[in-house]
Amino acid sequence: MCAVNFRDGTITVKQQMCREQTRGGKHYIASTKNDKARVLTVPPFIMELLREVRRKQFECHAVMGEAWENEWDLVFTNEAGHFIYPQTALKRFKAAAAR
């Protein structure tokens, strides 16, 4: 998916999450559409937010123990380490933006 480099303040995007095009299709990780990695320079305040997300993940992982599900080392997960569905992320973003 992506690699967050806290030291350099960058995010490298090299993969994307996809879903099989069948009803109830499973999610999987694939290369980006053009197979090229993108390096994004991120403002310091965003990096601090990402550090906080990571801290919360470590806390949740400690609580969940063996039940933790973040096999792909995703940046954004729910409390159990499972990926967040794109529709859920968009819905939360819109709600936050409306405030």
Q: Where do the structural domains in the chain lie, given as residue ranges?
A: 2-98
Radius of gyration in angstroms for the set of CA atoms belonging to the chain, rounded to a whole number: 15
Query: How many residues are there in the chain?
Result: 99
pLDDT score, position 1: 59
Residue 62 has pLDDT above 80, yes or no: yes
- Confidence (pLDDT) at 93: 79
**CB atoms near residue 70 (< 10 Å):** 17
Could you tell me the end-to-end alpha-carbon distance of the chain, in angstroms, rounded to an integer? 30
Q: What is the mean pLDDT of residues 64-81?
A: 90
* Strand 27-31 to 15-19 pairing: antiparallel
> Which of these ranges, 1-5, 26-30, 57-61, has the smallest mean pLDDT?
1-5
Q: Return the percent helix, strand and coil in the chain, to nearest 5.
A: 35, 25, 40
